[in-house]
A and B are shown apart, each in its own frame.
Chain A
Amino acid sequence: MRACLAYVFILISVAARADDTLRQWIDPNASGILPANTLHANRFGELGVLNTAGDVHLAAHPFFSALGTNGRACVSCHQPRYAMSVSAPGLRERWRATNGKDPVFAAIDGSNCPHLPQVDETSHSLLLERGLFRVTLPWPPRDAHGKIIDPEFTIEVIRDPTGCNTHRDYGIHSSTPTISVYRRPRPVANLKYVIANNGQSLFAKDGTPASIDRETGLPTAMNLMSDARHATLKLQAVDAGFTHLQMHAPLTTQQLTQIVDFELQVYTAQSADTIGGPLQSSEALGPDSLAREKPGIFGDTLATPVFGSFAAWRTAGDDPKAIFRASVARGYDIFFTRPFWIRDVMNFNNHLGNPAKRTCASCHNTRMTGMDISAGWMDIGTTNSPWANESPELPLFEITCNKELPPHPYLNRIIYTQDPGRALISGRCNDVGAIVIQQLRGLAARAPYFSNGSAQNLREVVDFYDRRFNIRFTEQDKQDLVNFLSVL
């Protein structure tokens, strides 16, 4: 029934806005106005995007301008329609619409590797099937001052289906040794929560010094990127200009200011559900609530729950809307209050004991976003053996930790991983496969999920956790959790 209702809802929504291309895919150098409030249909309902500064004139705005040599703008990979990210279905639609000519498919990172024939769809399979962009990182890693870090491990390419990691020009043995990993772009929205520095310690919870914002001199939250490699929005934008946009000169101060200002004005969340109706009636749902609330609040408490209480959604009723809302409330209760045994999660169990009996909200603990309030890179197994989903289309690396140092406490000294994550930045064995927890907002608009796109839909996310931690969810539990995640 849900699918049928959703189809009707989407048809109505799309028909009502068929002439409004700005609510669809926004091209670089587009003109016109992006309204302060826009709604974008998806299979669950509607996503809301709110710009608290009002309408945005796209012309000449650096976020929407092709600033580099490949025709891309920031918006190429951060589309309002997809919760300021991009979805794999949306990218496939874009490929069909442009015959693969859209700059989002640029060879540098929109293909599996630049040496592949770019006209072939298969050369872009990771982007089209899993929404993954190629991220290139130097090996060995460098610190913030460019000094080489002596890594605690050696890395060997075991499987290289894209050919990039062993390529003479792009690979680990090239003249500029580089490792290619493939990751989802994070939403450029709700960022006041992502960068919130709520008394951030000088040291991350793994005991290493926190990155310092050179402008303020203060430690940063280190939650911005999946490997925490850039600490501020400005640093991220500058790096993205050189890498993703292939700029030859850095962004100007004015461009940086405009980009960062825009990024901090944008909020996104699911705004309406096809069955559950408007979502703003719950205190923490919809983009308005994100704009209204304060960032940096620890939400794993009864006084400041992560996503409010859903109290009004628990009323009995047998109509589809009431039934759906009750399911969402149950899903939230599972997320917030139902303990399960969490094992072998680096940067969690080494602090709380292994195993620890906690809840989803123990890690997803920041009010309104479900991120980790402390610098939140953890290894839950999405990229590491033995827990990662089989992914023969992704590279596989063998990590050998230095025998003179303590081993990884759960994976020992030999680790197989599809993406070493934070370890490619820190050089630490304990960081292999550790990924910064990302926000849980706008999920309905931006499948697939996890940093490596290994979950094609929300049900696969739930299934992964169920398998990983042997939770033994019932079918009803799983549907309740999917419904809960879909309204965020």
Chain B
Amino acid sequence: MASFGEKAAGGTGKWVDDRLGSANFVRRSMNKVFPDHWSFMLGEVALYSFIMLLLTGTYLTLFFEGSSKEVLYDGSYTPLKGIPMTAAYASTLDISFDVRGGLIMRQMHHWAALLFMAAIVVHLARVFFTGAFRKPRELNWVMGVGLFVLGLVEGFAGYSLPDDLLSGTGLRIAYSIALSIPVIGTWAAFLVFGGEYPGGQIIERLYPIHILLVPGIILALISVHMGLVWYQKHTQFASPGRTENNVVGSRFFPAMMTKMAGFNMMVFGVIALLGGLAQINPIWLYGPYDPSQVSAGSQPDWYIGFLDGSTRLMPNWELRFWDYTFSPNVLLPTQVLPGVLFGLLAIYPFLEAKLTGDKGYHNILDRPRDKPVRTALGAMAITFYVVLLLAGGNDIIASIFHLSINEITYALRAGLFILPIVAYFVTKRACLSLQRFDDDLLHHGIESGTIRRLPSGEFVEDTVPLPSQYAVLLETTPERKELAAHNAHRLEGAQTAVATKPRGFFRPKGGAPKDDQKQLES
């Protein structure tokens, strides 16, 4: 007997299907299989943060006024009463003090932006180190890099809007960076700002860019990004039964879908907690923008920090020839460097395919240790980035640790070139040792805990061949397959120490039950 609910659902389904033929799509997509791994959830964090940004951002647009028109503040925040300021700043104060729930929306919006960028960076690292960017997924990698850059632009545009002292300082820096472009710099800066700084146009222009143009592009790119994941099917880690030609995991409906929706709510919840309890960007403490004022410890949002760092580390090179000025001290760290970094990032999949000659399809992920050069390159890039990020906070480091800011800067300048090279070699060696550890497992098996005393008086510990569930995980190269096959006969008749499902990311978790004391006594 079909219940009323089933009838209603069936009726609606038929109505829609008669018009759209949707049943086929529903059947296929609800049955879609997704491999499960914690690291696949990093991109989801970025997605959910973005949804939160759209929700909170839409609410904020109801109150924010993107205008540099001067007004006298007449809101309820008494310390600034009667002070002249732009409508943008005044309306941000109103959101913070005169709109019920406005402050939490503002703070959630800001936290969601920080989380969005952080999730993008970590997701990018996951995709890089596991080789998920390889054929056929290069396009999605390039789109991801594009989303990263757009996120930077969007974030910068967003925190520039309130027109407080901090954001105005950031805008002035952006204007000055535009000035440094050879030949057309002054033109570019004047066009964007509407004239010599402050130009009187920039808030009005950034506002539609921030709430319509860039988020629209991001939304479109995210849709295609996820559509491709769906269409090309997700990558998976090697595991028994998983091949390049299948996907092993959970069906989308219902368990996977429920877990994803639940995770979505959890990410929202964390943003709500941060937005409620962790104060961020208290613009009323900074005061309205005044071109002649600045506060010590001026810091951009974290994702701009690496560019601030590169700018701080750069020596003061400037060239004059004939009647013209060329400023590598600004141009190199603020425009050339990010251009090269993001350019290299975007073409990496093609470079790697070219250099390794690997043109094949890859649906099984690499373990980072199995690709020592790639992993080492990644470590190198991360080190470079972290040095720049530290340099972006050199004044904070100096004041916390009571160090000389000049010495920190000199040290980081050297570190920017030396540390990535060190990281490369250390990581590569670490990968090779981990590989040897795997070889050792395949070759000698795992410790059994059984200690034997030889007639000579020497103590030795017996090893047990690696159970096949583990061994298949390690047979990532032809040589290893051979090694495993060579040792297969040892499995025969040997006691199987562990027969549970293999778990663990970096190496199989669990091991032979150890009871050394007991073994020694017997």
Are the chains A and B members of one assembly? no
Q: Residues of A with Cβ closer than 8 Å to B? A: none
